[in-house]
Structure 1
């Protein structure tokens, strides 16, 4: 006889892999698996970089989005490995706004998950800068972004502020930056790429105007999934190879 607690624990384990897709029932998991199978028909499935491109396509429903993903600060799969190692080391995950934070899975990691927005109100009032930019600067003043996974999914000014912080010496463990919009979005991601390359900070960004909170959360969740696979021995985050004996 299975007690309720054991049943709930088994269900959590069964659906943990697809937690970021919202799969909490058998039917939902079938949909999630079928969806990812179709994505793999459209996007190569050979490297850790490919996994990020697959997640970008899945999150946007657009096969062309695979061509808009950029990796900076290291070779593309090395960027993913660095992000996954940061998850394994339980580094904080710091998002720009609440929506991105809400989209990051709570399963498969023990990272402290927090948002920037809500900090720096006095700085925003004094300077006239956006609340998100002020929030990033305030948290950076507290040392929050050093060795953290910095995620920007909405606000271009947050990405620009983060780039300034890196130029001033802050070193996130990894960055996911996909702010969306017609004003400063593309240029803010370009700025993140520039400083990431210059200072060797692993960063995942996109080009163009498209992006958003769902995409940023999805890419962050894929770093969590790579870390989970590394924990289970099916992915080696030290190299791009699949461990011997793994499926």
Structure 2
């Protein structure tokens, strides 16, 4: 396919690649990944991107998909929810600057912003972390309703978001991959708990690893799925409804 007037035809493997050489590298890398990771479901695309991002074939087994959408609670549900949100031009809100910087500006028209920088007075008054205070401040403004919320660095941001969800906040999807030795695993487990209890789709992982690069990469893959859906390039059995209707021409012939 031709990439947005860039002047070359190739399988669109990476939204960040903008030159022929970069595209060739991205395609070769993803071809290698697909030798080790299935390529049958929307969730498999997230697994592939996690392996690509982390450089670790085994990381695919650490991902967890929770919550549900109108088609059920299968592993594809958070991916469908995230792609729908992209197609609906929902806000993308990250915990810190590094994650925001990693979210592609191509293939979508969503507003991408960061939480850090909000809630400074609350942090100063209470002594809580700046990211936790930022999440609480944004929640008071209903910023997370229907949004894609991506957390790649701060466990306390994930814990604060989980509390907000438990109290009624409903993001479209949560991508939570905070990294570290203190509260990181616990924060992701907490996201999974409220995801299941409240029906909010979420993509997390287990273990100590993770980080901003992973969270941004998984968010970019949600954007990529939305782009493929818009272009009618998803396999027929993977096409999902948007606002109750599948897109015209949706679904590539097998």
TM-score (ref. length: structure 1): 0.91
The 8 Å contact of residues 229 and 250 in structure 2, kept in 1 or not, is answered as no
Taking a change above 3 Å as real, the CA distance of residues 210 and 162 of structure 1, as seen in their structure-2 partners, is: same
After superposition, the Cα gap between the structure-2 partners of 1:243 and 1:110, relative to the gap in structure 1 and judged at 3 Å, is closer
Offset of residue 79 of structure 1? 1.6
Distance change (3 Å), C-alpha of 1:13 and 1:137: farther
Provide the rounded CA distance (Å) in 2 between the counterparts of 1:71 and 1:159: 16
Q: Which runs of 5+ in 2 are unaligned?
A: 68-72
Aligned to 1:42: 36
Match of 2:253 in 1: 246
Structure 2: how far apart are the matches of 1:150 and 1:180? Answer: 16
- Which structure carries more helix by proportion? 1
1:70 aligned to 2:74? no
**Partner SS, residue 6 of structure 2:** helix
Partner of 1:84 in structure 2?
83
Q: Secondary structure of 1:42's match? A: coil
SS of 2:213's equivalent in the other structure is helix
8 A contact 1:17–1:225 mirrored in 2: no
Alignment partners' CA distance in 2, 1:184 and 1:122:
24
Take 1:55 and 1:174, find their aligned partners in 2: how far apart are those partners? 17
Q: Equivalent residue for 1:5?
A: none
> 1:27 corresponds to which residue?
21
Give the count of matched residue pairs: 237
- 1:1-247 equivalence runs, <5 A: 10-11=5-6, 17-18=12-13, 20=15, 22-73=16-67, 74-235=73-234, 236-238=239-241, 245-246=252-253
CA distance in 2, matches of 1:13, 1:141: 46
Q: Is the 1:15–1:23 contact (alpha carbons within 8 Å) kept by the matching residues of 2? A: no
- In the superposition, the TM-score normalised over structure 2's length comes to 0.88
Q: Structure 1 residue 27: deviation in Å? A: 1.2
Higher relative contact order, structure no. (Cα contacts within 8 Å, ≥ 6 residues apart): 1
